Structure 1
């Protein structure tokens, strides 16, 4: 009957597989709706077998086997992990493919579009132009269902070889890990490549969900969330869903990669800190306590550019949703220290910045950066994360998020992957040509592709390259990138 109606039949269960339930953060459409691919571009020719053996070796280590797991639906319709008792040639630890294109990257129709850094903030490329390098040609991700009808490992590696470059692609279903979980994976992969197996920690045991107490509310929140009175009710959620949800699920979108040179963002950061310290002195406060991170200024600047490029009504609410890892807040409580046993999975919370479009447009960038820092400081504590997920349970939407703001707000999302250290990876042991000496072999460019769920104005900060340039990508409603680029140009002209 499956073939009759064009459905793929379910994959047979292997009796010797270890079966585990999905954890709380894995069991939601928000996560299951995205298959992920991170492309690392190296200006060197790398040995694909060395890369494969190193990643396979990591997954075969005790505690890491879950990354070689398969995904199955049980008789009750619930998705489960099925982890092979032993990885074999027939059931490998990772998915792997290698394509030797036999030409320079500049001669390839997709690879020739790998961007170079810009000297001013600019959209330099469309990451989807490299989709046929990130995935099998013609494949477009369909979410977790792509993994339920095959014996496909949840983690994959695709290596594209050119005569002068290598595009190394790490693929995974989002249930496997989030951005900080990816950090542990790529660090372990690098250590395997360098022969530093002794430096690889054993992850938390995958048998139990350490965040079960948050999911079920068995541990009562000790305080109210600072934005509890701004939680959107059912009518507001419906209104918000008809707007933002329609943009995300129905309207045509364009992807874009923005390069932000250090010569631009660093003066913005220094100016913002200087202004905030001057304000502190005026209030009789200690200016040395003023603190902003590079991420704070990038988040504030991006929010400002998006809002001003769209010509929003001054009284419209703008909600900046900043993804945060729960690991630091719950180390020593629900999970051990990451240096001892890292949690390789999904564990995310949110900081929400609520401001009016008028304030964003009229006030200095330092003001908005301070709102970002304040939100992260106030909402990033253990007690506030517990309070947030108490709101999630009360919302009963089936999503691991609470909608905060109002039904007519403009939503801008942020996920900063800088801590994953993708630009810091050194794959020198995989070089094929020994003539390049002992110099590090680091990515010159990093991008991500995902799908099928693509939130509008959801910005991924991929990190900072060795020249100090930040790279960030997002999908926007078709036609809006031109307006945003005009705003980037205006900001640059004012700054210089």
Structure 2
């Protein structure tokens, strides 16, 4: 095994004094974001040139057109506040990214960790444990590696760039790991990064120029509350409700041991569910209201989200009257286009965090007894109703007023069970083409990931589902942590699907 690693020693004082110092953005200045370091592993069934991957990503960050923020360091000022320190110039002693290359002189199938990279099956199934690949995501691939501790990993004397690249080269495949502290960007921010990286790698001359500054600095503040109240305002948890809920959810998240699993759902399954759901809802629209059946609209992910909710509820045998709260993360980018952000046609991405939530409140009894299409429609309704500029503004007006330091407000009741969703399908990770980095010059056609997973930590809420996206064969991949012992019943449901 051979590996090369760029490590950032403490820089000369003169280099630091020339840094551009900027405050954290609104969405970055919270323990919810700072509590997680992120790593995305992209698995290619080809051998890629690690130097081309490194140089193209470094080139992107070094462009100083707004991308240089990703090469920034995180440091505390004299008052203890965390700030961005962005080098005026990137040098070998202060590189734009942290970089590690591990050359494994064996096929991935012979490696104790890489051999556990999952493959899809012909039915919905648990196909692996993303934590099995944690040594590849956070270390050199051996059992000894440092698990993430949150933003504190970036605040030491090492002068660590916020963005990192780790490449594992095997004789038969390549594992490319992009890592970052969550303050840098969310899922659609990641999309902008990897697509621009792909553009530099392929030699494109025109690379998008990101939006600079914090466009959401005034979101929800006095005078920026908007004219609407949030549609779920009356269902907001009281202080006592928060305490009761926190006693259950907080213990699950912070105390109880959890297990991480990857689930693969083949196209023939999810497409069948989607077709049945749409057909039933269109028939209902015609029979009950006489409306236009073609007006019924469900996305694939609406149905997938509903299916996950049902699997969670059924596998846990919940009381029929218990409230189930589905919290669906949403990007704010579309809602604030042409307002706080440029129109999409201008091609200027916002590379940062900009997220809101759609909240679905149902009972466990309805989840179990009603058709899947009904639940998928509730998901779609929540996204449509709560995904507008006015509703996001009303939501963050409540966040600002709460002064809790968290960019979240909870709805439901103190006894509810919460299931979280972060859908990365629009990030398009399975559609990336890294063919310019191929070592085999005789091969043609795109070079796309065959497997994608995320690792994060140290905060790992129970039943927080990541939908990683859909691969070229139509399989959907999703992962989550559940309290230890709860995956067994969930797996029984998958086997019966």
TM-score by length of 1: 0.95
2:479 to 473, 478, 483: 473
Q: Indicate which of 169, 190, 205 corresponds to 2:198.
A: 190
Judging changes above 3 Å, is the alpha-carbon distance between structure 1 residues 217 and 101 closer, same or farther for their aligned structure 2 residues?
Answer: farther
8 Å CA contact 2:35, 2:459 repeated in 1: yes
Q: Deviations over 1:441-486 (max 9, x none)?
A: 0000000000000011000000000000000000000011111101
Structure 1 position 146 matched with structure 2 position 188: no
d(CA) in 1 for partners of 2:495, 2:263: 12
* 1:124-152 Cα distance to aligned partner (Å, 9 max, x none): 00000001100114110000000000200
- Paired position in structure 1 for 2:163: 155
2-side partners of 1:82 and 1:241: how far apart?
Answer: 36
Question: Secondary structure of 1:212's partner?
Answer: coil
CA drift at 1:221: 2.2
- Within the alignment, does 1:414 sit opposite 2:421 as a pair? yes
Which residue number in structure 2 is paired with residue 293 of structure 1?
299
Do 2:221 and 2:397's aligned partners in 1 also have CA atoms closer than 8 Å? Answer: no
Q: Secondary structure at 2:374's aligned position in 1?
A: helix
Three-state SS of the structure 1 residue aligned to 2:278 is helix
Q: Which segments of 5 or more consecutive residues in structure 2 lack a partner in the other structure?
A: 1-9
* Alpha-carbon displacement from aligned partner over 1:271-311 (angstroms, at most 9, x marks no partner): 00000000000121110100000110110000000000000
CA separation in 2, counterparts of 1:93 and 1:309? 46
Determine if the alignment matches structure 1 residue 175 to structure 2 residue 183: yes
Residue pair 2:11, 2:94 contacting (<8 A) in 1 also: no
Does structure 1 residue 332 correspond to structure 2 residue 335? no
Per the alignment, residue 249 of structure 1 pairs with 254
Which deviates further from its counterpart, 453-462 or 481-490?
481-490
- Measure the CA separation in 2 of the matches of 1:393 and 1:155: 29
State how 1:243-322 maps to structure 2 within 5 Å.
243-282=248-287, 283-322=289-328
Q: Is the CA contact 1:24–1:215 (under 8 Å) kept in the aligned structure 2?
A: no
* Equivalent residue number for residue 4 of structure 2: none
1:339 is displaced (CA, Å) by: 4.2
The separation in 1 between residues aligned to 2:222 and 2:327, in whole angstroms, is 23
Counting matched residue pairs gives 480
Could you tell me whether the CA contact under 8 Å between 1:10 and 1:148 is conserved in 2? no
Deviation at 1:218, TM superposition (A): 3.5
Counterpart position of 2:20: 18
Aligned residue number for residue 41 of structure 1:
43
Cα distance in structure 2, aligned partners of 1:175 and 1:218: 27
Q: What residue number does 2:366 align with?
A: 359
Partners of 1:383 and 1:179 lie apart in 2 by: 22
1:63 corresponds in structure 2 to: 66
Please report the RMSD computed on the Cα atoms of aligned residues, expressed in angstroms: 1.4
Does structure 2 conserve the Cα–Cα contact (< 8 Å) formed by 1:45 and 1:163? yes
Q: Matched residues in 2 for 1:419 and 1:425: separation?
A: 12
Q: TM-score, normalised by structure 2?
A: 0.95
Task: Name the residue aligned to 1:455.
Answer: 461
Matches of 2:104 and 2:260, distance apart in 1: 25
Distance in 1 between the 2:311 and 2:127 partners? 16
Residues 11, 151 of structure 1: 8 Å contact kept: no
Gaps of 5+ in 1: 1-8
Which residue of 74, 77, 81 maps to 1:78?
Answer: 81
Cα distance in 2, alignment partners of residues 218 and 35 from structure 1: 34
1:227 matched residue in structure 2: 232
**C-alpha distance after superposition, 1:62-97 (max 9, x if no partner):** 210000000000011110000000000000000000
CA contact (8 A) 2:220 2:393 kept: no
User: What secondary structure sits across from 2:365 in the alignment?
Assistant: helix
Matched, 1:88 2:96: no
| Between 12-21 and 78-87, the greater mean CA deviation after superposition | 12-21
Q: Does 1:237 align with 2:245?
A: no
Task: Tell me the CA shift for residue 220 of structure 1.
Answer: 2.4
Describe how 1:194-213 pairs up with structure 2 within 5 A: 194-198=202-206, 200-206=207-213, 209-213=214-218
